[in-house]
Amino acid sequence: MPKETTSRNLIQIARLRSGMSQMELARAAKTSQPAISAYESGKRSPSVETLTRLLAAAGFELRMQLATPDTHDVSRKNAEKLLPKSQVRGHINRERKRLKSNGRGKKS
């Protein structure tokens, strides 16, 4: 099973979209800044109840839905094997350079 990353990403996205610091979100959600930090780093996973509360404190509502698994990544990985390896490597390196030079992103 892949690691669950949805809750940590949702908390951080909600906080950043609302322009709050971890401390401000902690205050609004009546929890501590270290707890927010632990959730965002993935060290701790919140319960659905806690996640709902944290997102509400940032001004968002948690909505869930069921979906069939996305097979696109599997297809793409298969296809990548058909592409010239040097070109795939070139693409990845160019992307790393771009993300590094715009100073905003993380390495792929």
Partner 1 sequence: MGEVRNLDVEGLLEALVNHSIDFILIGGTAAQILNLPVPSTIDVDIAPLRSRKNLECLSEFFENVNASLLTAEEDGTWFPRTPIENWAQYSTLHLITDFGLLDLVFEPTGTSDGYQDLVKGSVLLQVGHSMIRCITEDQWVELKSSTGRPKDLEHLRQYFSGKKKN
- Interior angle at CA 6, CA 60 and CA 65, nearest 5: 70
Q: What are phi and psi of 46, to 5 degrees?
A: -75, 155
Q: Coil, helix or strand for 34? A: helix
Q: Which is nearer to partner 1, 47 or 78 (CB)?
A: 78
Our finding on whether 71 is near partner 1 (CB under 8 A) is: yes
Q: Which is nearer to partner 1, 15 or 26 (CB)?
A: 15
Write down the least CB distance from residue 17 to partner 1, Å: 6
Contact between 100 and 107 (Cβ < 8 Å): yes
Task: Map the footprint of partner 1 across residues 76-105, applying CB under 8 A.
Answer: 76, 78-84, 87-88, 91, 95-96, 98-99, 102-105
